[in-house]
Structures are given as C-alpha cells and as structure tokens.
C-alpha cells in the first residue's frame, strides 16, 4: 500500500507551546501511521522547541531567526540579517534532508523554512491554529498545497479551495484520564468537597494572571474553593511567597499531568492560546479567558471572542484582570447552571482527531 512507503517529512515552527504541541501531535500521528517515517523538525534557536522536541524523541535544527520589533523599528536591521542567514540555512537543510513534504505550524522558523521549500517545489501544508491568521501563514498561503484550520470563515485570509477544517491537534494524554473528578482532586492532594480553580498562564507563564491571582487568592480561598496554580518558570518564586502558609492552594512552575488537572478542575483561568482553547473544547471545561495583549494581531482576544459569542467562555481583558478576577471566579463557581451551559457549548465547538485528519491530508498530497 502507498501509505507504507517511507516518506521524509519536515515540520517547522515553534516558539510557544501553542505551536510545539500541535507539531508534536502531527509527528506522533505520522509515526503511528508508519513507524519508519523520517521526521526532522526545524525551529528557532534559543526557543523552547529546542528542548521540548528532542525530549519527545525527534531531531531538530535551529534557525537564527526571531520576530520583528514592531515598536522599535530601527532594531530590525539585525532581524533582517538573521532572516537572510536563516533562508540560507533553510536551503541547506532542504538539500541535505531532501523532504517529500514540509509542514508549517506557525512561529518564527516556519516562514523561511516553508518559503524555501515552496521555491524548491516541495509540497507544503500549513496548520493555522488561531481564528485570526498569523502574518507568516498569510504570506505562505498563496503557494501552499493545503491549509488546515480550526475555525470557520478562514477564507478571509486564505484561498478557500485550499482550506480544510481539521481542528487543532492536542496532546493525546489530555483526553486519557479515567479518574472521576473526586478521584482526580484527591490524586492532586485537594479535598473532593471543595471546587477547584485551575490557573494556567501558558507554557511560559503570564505576569498579569499571576499578579491578579496573587491579589485575589485569599478571597477565592475564603469562598470555599481550592486553587491549583501554574505560574511558569519565571514567576514561581514570587508566587510561592504569596501562597506560602495557605491551605487549599498548590503551586508549580509547570503541570506535567494536565489530563488529571483538567479532570479535577471545576473552572480554569487561562490565556486564550489556540491549543489551550482546543483542549478546553474537547473536555468541556468552563473557562475564564484572559487574552494576552502581547501577541501578533491581537489573535488571543479574537480566539476568546469566538467562544464568548457562543456562550462557551467568559473573557476578561488583560487590563481589567486584577479588578475583576476574584468576583468572576466566585460567581462562576456559584452558578452550576452557567457552568453546565458553557461546558455543553464548548463541546459543540470541539473538533476531534485533528492530528489524524491532518496526516490523512498529508498522505493525500504525497500520493
């Protein structure tokens, strides 16, 4: 059969967990389809993919590329030089690895890498996670073979005939938790009798969310709730000081068993990254979303708004978080009916098996 042929697939992108987790999910699905498939990742030097990808068992090459400084334009001379170097290295990677196909998941490295692949006539597939397309993917779209998306109305950004609605690939273990909610709370060291608020600031942490939870912590705990708080590695020490000596709160830089944390939680407070939203849709976890204002095209706010429009989440703007977070969390915890409605509406938006759908498309193109 054609699918048993050993292909060479290049996967490029990264920068944040929102790009890396989908990339790894696609790679894992490719390996499930054919364990002999040859996969090479290309990321950006000094970004988190250079650690996370090898830890997952894949080879990665780093390009010396990074983003444009939109506020201090004079600093972009070095950016342009690094982009030129990255284009040269991308051509070298293509010559040496000779892929049958290149997949781009967004992030700094995917631009020069997929552009070089397109110039060489190699088929390219773009995976756009957000409801508002990124600049890199919009530039690559014209010459892409296929574009996999997670939201409708993406023909605003891409040629309609190339779009395939797949959803966003998520970490497989997210969906694999056989514990009841009470069992999950006990496993994490919380009382099953108390509602649990899960606080997640993304893979690197979020200063606004951490500062807001620090200010709101006592009020939330005094309402009868417990708090599981992922701070990110940059904020763990200052947040640990705030949590010290308090019962019913647990704090960590990173949560490795997110499937158990999701199962245990009654409400989540989170940024509005596309991968996180896709996970919340699949598990139906009521969310208070605080979009990051520090992302391109303000895409997190647009991601969150897509859920708010369907009564599937609550959004608090970053500037209002410290003022509103405590009362919003407590109000949602006290309203079981609202949480049930949000959960049902989230699940209606979910698109399952995105990784398999994307791999199906990859094989369609390769054939």
Could you tell me if 93 and 119 lie in one domain?
yes
Could you tell me if 163 and 303 lie in one domain?
no
CATH number of the domain enclosing 27: 3.40.50.2000
CA separation for the pair 125, 2 (Å, rounded): 19
CA separation for the pair 149, 33 (Å, rounded): 21
Alpha helices in the chain (DSSP H): 17-33, 49-55, 76-97, 110-119, 135-141, 181-187, 207-222, 236-243, 258-264, 274-283, 299-308, 321-333, 336-349, 354-366
pLDDT digits (tens, 9 = 90+) for 330-342: 999 999 999 999 9
CA separation for the pair 358, 147 (Å, rounded): 10
Could you tell me if 163 and 188 lie in one domain?
no
Could you tell me if 95 and 154 lie in one domain?
yes
Please report, in angstroms and rounded to a whole number, the separation of the first and last CA atoms in the chain. 11
Alpha helices in 142-247 (DSSP H): 181-187, 207-222, 236-243
Q: Provide the residue range defining the domain that includes 82.
A: 2-168+353-366
Radius of gyration (C-alpha) of the chain in whole angstroms: 21
Could you tell me if 155 and 199 lie in one domain?
no
Going residue by residue through the chain (367 aa), what tens digit of pLDDT does each one get? Answer: 344 578 999 999 887 777 888 999 999 999 999 999 999 999 888 888 888 899 999 999 988 776 655 565 556 667 777 777 888 889 999 999 999 999 999 887 888 999 999 999 999 999 998 888 888 899 999 999 999 999 888 999 999 999 999 999 988 788 888 999 999 999 999 999 999 999 997 666 788 999 999 999 999 999 999 999 999 888 888 889 988 889 999 999 988 899 999 999 999 999 998 888 999 999 999 999 999 988 767 889 998 999 999 999 999 999 999 999 999 999 999 999 999 999 999 999 999 899 999 999 999 999 8
Could you tell me if 248 and 358 lie in one domain?
no
pLDDT digits (tens, 9 = 90+) for 151-189: 888 999 999 999 999 999 988 788 888 999 999 999 999
Could you tell me if 51 and 199 lie in one domain?
no
Contact yes or no for 18/276 (Cβ under 8 A): yes
Number of independent structural domains in the chain: 2
Return the structure tokens found at 193: 């009798």
Could you tell me if 279 and 217 lie in one domain?
yes
Could you tell me if 8 and 139 lie in one domain?
yes
- Which residues make Cβ contacts (< 8 Å) with residue 213, sequence separation at least 6? 199, 220, 227, 229, 239, 269, 325
Could you tell me if 149 and 226 lie in one domain?
no
Could you tell me if 69 and 191 lie in one domain?
no
- Model-level pTM? 0.83
Could you tell me if 147 and 280 lie in one domain?
no
SS3 of residue 71 by DSSP: coil
């Amino acid at each position: 059969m054609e699918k048993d042929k050993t292909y060479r697939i290049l996967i490029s992108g990264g920068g944040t967990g929102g790009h890396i987790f989908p990339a790894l999910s696609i790679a894992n699905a490719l390996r499930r389809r054919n364990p002999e498939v040859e996969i090479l990742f290309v990321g950006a030097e000094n970004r988190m993919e250079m650690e996370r990808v090898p830890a997952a068992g894949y080879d990665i090459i780093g390009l010396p590329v990074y983003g444009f400084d939109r506020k201090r334009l004079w600093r972009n001379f070095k950016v342009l030089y690094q982009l030129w170097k990255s284009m040269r290295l991308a051509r070298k990677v293509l010559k040496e690895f000779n892929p049958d196909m290149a997949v781009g998941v967004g992030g700094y490295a995917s631009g020069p890498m997929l552009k070089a692949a397109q110039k060489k006539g190699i088929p390219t597939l773009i995976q756009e996670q957000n409801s508002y397309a990124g600049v890199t993917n919009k530039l690559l779209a014209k010459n892409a073979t296929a574009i996999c998306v997670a939201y409708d109305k993406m023909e605003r950004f891409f040629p309609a005939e190339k779009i395939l609605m797949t959803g966003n690939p998520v970490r497989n273990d997210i969906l694999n938790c056989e514990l009841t909610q009470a069992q999950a709370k006990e496993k994490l060291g919380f009382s099953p009798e108390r509602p649990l608020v899960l606080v997640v600031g993304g893979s690197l942490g979020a200063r606004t969310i951490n500062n807001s939870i620090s200010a709101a912590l006592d009020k939330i705990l005094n309402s009868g709730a417990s708090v599981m708080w992922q701070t990110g590695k940059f904020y763990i020490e200052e947040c640990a000081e705030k949590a010290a000596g308090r019962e019913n709160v647990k704090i960590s830089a990173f949560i490795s068993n997110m499937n158990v944390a999701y199962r245990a939680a009654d409400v989540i407070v989170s940024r509005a990254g596309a991968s996180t939203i896709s996970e919340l849709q699949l598990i139906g976890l009521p969310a208070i979303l605080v979009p990051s204002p520090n992302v391109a095209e303000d895409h997190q706010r647009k991601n969150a708004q897509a859920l708010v429009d369907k009564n599937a989440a609550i959004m608090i703007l970053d500037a209002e978080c410290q003022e509103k977070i405590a009362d919003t969390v407590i109000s949602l915890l006290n309203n079981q009916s609202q949480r049930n409605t949000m959960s049902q509406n989230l699940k209606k938006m979910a698109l399952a098996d995105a990784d398999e759908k994307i791999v199906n498309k990859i094989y369609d193109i390769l054939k």
